[in-house]
Chain A
Amino acid sequence: MRIAAGVDVGSTQAKAVIMSDNGGLKILGRALVDTGANVQRAAERAFDSCCQAADLRTGDVGMVVGTGYGRYKIAFGNTQMTEITCHAKGASFLCPGTRTVIDMGGQDSKAISVGASGEVLDFVMNDKCAAGTGRFLANSAEVMGISLDEVGPLSLQAKHPVKIATVCTVFVESDILSYLAQGKTAEDVLGGVHIAIAKRTLSLARRLNIEPEITMTGGVARNIGMVWALETVLGKKMQVSPDAQYMGAVGAALFGLEKLDQSFETGVWRGDHAVSGGH
């Protein structure tokens, strides 16, 4: 039985997934930790927790594939790939028929055009600023004194969502305060914020051909208000897996299994990808 792990080290959270291929692909365990200041340690903690969750020893894992911004810092990893490639792969596996991935993470968002085998055909990214990312939501929540978990459900109760013109996380704060001062309800303000983010994200995604099935990945996928806002603006239903946050790690683990299987021998696995301190 082949066992591989995917470790996705993002700027805010590190995720690990262990999968096996024993006549069928299966997820054996998952783990999620806050990244904190030390990326390498976060990767290790995620991996160790995941092994525990899967009831395995670290040595049982035949291949570790790193992904995410911290992928070069995963010293114990065998190789790495970008999270774009991994999200496409993971989404394809967990949500069959995926042709478009919309990933909204803590600090960046992206849209990916995916082929029938989970390969990346095209992608667009917003990695320059927080507009359309989890950070925008977190900031808005903080300004309003509401917990991040509540913003989604509250936004669904908006009767007259306010109009938010700016996509700048910093400037939206004064917009929010302005509206609250005018007497708008928190629900209406949050409704407006969610719609603004949805519009911004879909604007980005439209640079590709948005084709169904559309799968949402990343931490923000847990926000039901965001899912609803995206579906409303897009006019189409999206697939959201309960493992949305683990998509990158799942994809990485799948690549790990393929590598073990030697079914994917390409130049991508050249030695220069294996980390010894990164580039």
Chain B
Amino acid sequence: MAEKKEYRGSIHQRQKELMLTWYDKLNQAAETGNPPTVSMMISGNCVELLEGFGAVPIYPEVNALQLAIRHQSLDPILAAEELGYAADNCAYVKADIGCILKGITPTEGKLPTPTLILCNFVGCNTYLKWFEHTAKLQKAPLYVIDVPFMRADEPTLADVDYVVKQLQETVKKLEQLTGRKFDYDRFQQAVECSSRTEELWSQIKHLARRRPSPFDAYFDAITLMGPLYVYRAKPEGVEFFEAALAELQSKCDAGKGVYEQEHFRVVMEGPPPYPYFRTFRDMFAKWQACAVASTYSTVGGLWEFGFRHDPAKPFESVAMHMIAQNVTNRNYLQRYEQIRRYVEDWNADGVIIHFVKSCRLFSAGQGDMRDYFTKQLGVPTLYIESDLEDPRYFAEAQTRNRIDAFFESLEHAKATASVRSA
């Protein structure tokens, strides 16, 4: 029978606790009005800024994916569609709007109306509409941080300046809304915390370069990612990732991988089908295929190539992260480059491109990405399709079929190569 292994060490439990504590805080905010809360998008988030106000982040994307994993996303999606949202609108948005309409939350607790809806516009145009709509629905104040898109290899000084100015405007706005003065020292400490969390996460990501990788850099990384958005700028985050690194390092030292035998190493591109997370994982587990890198796990920041927040330049480095160091604000060709680097430096056998109907930022043009990897680089690439949130768009048999055919082909290639070298 197929192996159904996944990483379930003690940090898995700790991750759950941290996320539940966070939802408790939000429930507290819903009931008492304190602490202040700020809604943000995960990609290119400026959670460090919130620390200067003692504010807690709300991440609608996390709410949406939690619902999908628990197979509860369809109802809110349908509610949103009744309101007029189209079949082709992003299902994350629909799920979130539906939850607001129906008062659904991912846990037993309540979610507060945010003190500020802070749209960190980092590439995803849907983010803008999403937050405009929820601001209208919840009658909450909205501010958009317009982050210039990475249209060249590096951001310009003007790009950074524009974002820094908007961050400072955000600070003023939050002072007005919370009645609290911005605590610059706490902000700076938060940036320092972030730099340490990032260093740890980066080292974890680099552990996947070993053979075997001690964790799956897609499925396990996604599970471990939550504390990266919520606790990146807090000491709890640093502790968590210290523990995570230690645990994974010891697995590495013992030569333990995710499976009995690591048969294939792949790079995963695109978000997972959250409503079928388990099933999807099993389709790869059957082949003992381990993800050694993924682009989706860098939505919350691209830390493995050296960038760190700099407490000496807190506003500037927060701006730099928002502009250049998250996958959504980077241009499509930079994503190709990122994947290529993973294939080469993390030693992967192939690339799996998962097209999701909801997300055009990730998916529009993945055919060209496939063309680049197969025709230009000769890297075996598999293209599969479903959705990240809507359970109606997953064809299990067809997806399994494509995955099986892909690994059959890789297996034959391996066998032929070993016969030749024998």
Interface residues of A (CB under 8 A from B): 69, 81-85, 108, 117, 119-125, 127-128, 207-209, 264-268, 272, 279
Contact = CB atoms under 8 A, between A and B. Distances in A.
Given A207-B370, A267-B263, A125 B398 contact: yes
Contacts of B89: none
A123 B395 CA distance: 18
B49 to A, nearest CB: 43
Interface in B138-158: none
A121 B406 CA distance: 9
B70 interface: no
B411 A120 contact: no
Interface of B: 1-2, 263, 282, 286, 367, 370-371, 374-375, 380-381, 383, 385, 395, 397-398, 400-402, 404-406, 408-409, 411-416
Contacts of A266: 411-412, 414-415
Contacts of B370: 207
Given A272-B1, A272-B2, A85 B397 contact: no
A69 B405 CA distance: 12
Nearest to A84: B405
Contact of A69 (B374, B375, B401, B415): B401
Given A127-B395, A264-B415, 19 more contacts: A69-B401, A82-B405, A82-B408, A84-B405, A84-B409, A117-B416, A119-B409, A120-B408, A120-B409, A122-B380, A123-B406, A124-B383, A127-B398, A207-B370, A265-B415, A266-B412, A266-B415, A268-B411, A279-B282
- Interface centre among B1, B381, B409, by most chain A C-beta atoms within 10 angstroms, is B409
Contacts of A268: 408, 411-412, 415
A277 to B, nearest CB: 11
A82 B397 contact: no
A272 to B, nearest CB: 5
- Interface centre among A84, A122, A208, A264, by most chain B C-beta atoms within 10 angstroms, is A122
Contact of B409 (A121, A127, A207, A267): A121
Contacts of A127: 395, 398, 401-402
Contacts of A279: 2, 282, 286, 400
Given A127-B401, A209-B375, A119 B383 contact: no
A82 B401 contact: yes
A208 B400 CA distance: 21
A84 B407 CA distance: 11
A120 B380 CA distance: 11
Contacts of A122: 374, 380-381, 409
Given A69-B397, A207-B371, A268-B408, A125 B402 contact: yes
Contacts of B1: 272
Q: Which 6 A-B pairs have the closest CB atoms?
A: A84-B405, A266-B415, A120-B409, A82-B405, A127-B398, A268-B411
A84 B402 CA distance: 8
A254 B314 CA distance: 65
Contacts of A69: 397, 401
Nearest to A269: B411
Contacts of B413: 119
B409 A128 contact: no
Contacts of A84: 401-402, 405, 408-409
Nearest to A265: B415
Contacts of B401: 69, 82-84, 125, 127
B395 A128 contact: yes
A83 to B, nearest CB: 8
Contacts of B412: 85, 119-120, 266, 268
Nearest to B407: A268
A184 to B, nearest CB: 32
11 contacts: A81-B404, A84-B401, A120-B405, A123-B406, A127-B402, A207-B367, A209-B375, A266-B415, A267-B411, A272-B2, A279-B286
- Interface centre among B282, B380, B395, B415, by most chain A C-beta atoms within 10 angstroms, is B415
Contacts of B375: 209
B354 to A, nearest CB: 14
B414 A128 contact: no
